[in-house]
């Protein structure tokens, strides 16, 4: 009886070892197949490859920075107070970008609003290298929130994109909160197209950070082409990453009669 039990235990142990070895062999074969598949993936047709374009902005910057400009707006305006009307000196800042090599530049109308038709005002355009020039308003449209300015200098113009796609990567360059943070760069994607905030102007929605002072600056695609003019954001404690830019086609139509 003991011999029978020993024999049964032996065969049971042998079977267990055999099963475990088979499982190990199957696992090894699966791992080998997975490794082979991964090794072949880059050359497989229609393979979906996820690339890291984090260096893309760094590569593009040298070709676009010269086209971005900071704007300083000083104006004396009349303001109503409890003690009557009085003169108030205002200083504001924003961003813009050149659209011709002869010094025409685009910005938001609200950036230069205090200087529009105001003889007691001045606009200074500060270039990427720190040089500055006086600027004058050539065209102004409060409804579109766009303005064309002009300086007397030869500059580097930016170009507009012919198309854009929902979800594509974008980045903004501007002067948020003034000149201490000049030429700040933020990156995101196109979160929505043809957004409307009530004034009928189609906007690009983006999660690239748009802050006060970025207004009027360019929103770029990853080719270094301008797709829009940064204009506003939704500011709230319960909202994050909802900024807007005026679509490029609206901008080109606005400046067509002046530039051409």
Q: For residue range 164-221, what is the model confidence (pLDDT) as tens digits?
A: 999 999 999 999 988 989 999 999 999 999 998 888 899 999 999 999 999 999 999 9
- Which CATH number is 143's domain given? 2.40.10.10
In-domain check, residue 53:
no
Kindly name the residue from 145, 182, 231, 232 that is annotated as catalytic.
145
Number of domains in the chain: 2
| Predicted local distance difference test score (pLDDT) of residue 88 | 84
* 176 lies in the same domain as 131: no
Distances in whole angstroms, Cα of residue 31 to Cα of each of 37, 194, 202, 238: 10, 48, 52, 47
* 68 lies in the same domain as 133: yes
pLDDT under 70 in the chain at which residues? 1-55
Q: Would you call 110 a catalytic residue per the annotation? A: yes
Domain final position from 150, 177, 209: 150
Q: Would you call 180 a catalytic residue per the annotation? A: no
* 125 lies in the same domain as 174: no
Long-range contacts of 133-137 (CB under 8 A, 24+ apart): 133/103, 135/71, 135/105, 137/112
Q: Which domain holds residue 98?
A: 61-150
| Predicted local distance difference test score (pLDDT) of residue 99 | 97
This prediction has a pTM of 0.76
Kindly name the residue from 95, 182, 191, 215 that is annotated as catalytic.
215
Q: Would you call 215 a catalytic residue per the annotation? A: yes
Kindly name the residue from 110, 121, 169, 207 that is annotated as catalytic.
110
């Amino acid at each position: 009886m003991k011999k029978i039990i020993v024999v049964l235990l032996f065969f049971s142990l042998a079977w267990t070892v055999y099963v475990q070895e088979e499982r190990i062999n199957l696992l090894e074969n699966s791992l080998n197949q997975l490794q082979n598949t991964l090794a072949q993936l880059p050359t497989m047709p229609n393979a979906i490859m996820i690339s890291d374009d984090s260096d893309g902005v760094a590569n593009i910057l040298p070709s676009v920075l010269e086209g971005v400009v900071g704007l300083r707006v000083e104006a004396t305006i009349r303001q109503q107070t409890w003690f009557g009307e009085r003169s108030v000196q205002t200083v504001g800042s924003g961003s813009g970008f050149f659209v011709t090599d002869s010094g025409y530049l685009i910005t938001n109308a609200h950036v230069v609003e205090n200087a529009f038709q105001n003889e007691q005002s001045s606009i200074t355009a500060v270039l990427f290298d720190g040089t500055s020039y006086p600027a004058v308003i050539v065209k102004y449209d409060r409804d579109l929130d766009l303005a064309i300015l002009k300086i007397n200098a030869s500059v580097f113009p930016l170009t507009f994109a012919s198309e854009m796609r929902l979800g594509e990567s974008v980045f903004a360059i501007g002067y948020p909160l003034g000149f201490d943070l000049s030429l700040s760069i933020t990156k995101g994607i196109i979160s929505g197209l043809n957004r409307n905030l009530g004034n009928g102007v189609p906007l690009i929605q983006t999660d690239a950070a748009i802050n006060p002072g970025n207004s009027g600056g360019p929103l770029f695609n990853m080719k270094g082409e301008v797709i829009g003019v940064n204009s506003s954001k939704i500011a709230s404690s319960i909202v994050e990453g909802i900024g807007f830019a005026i679509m490029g086609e609206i901008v080109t139509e606005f400046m067509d009669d002046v530039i051409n």
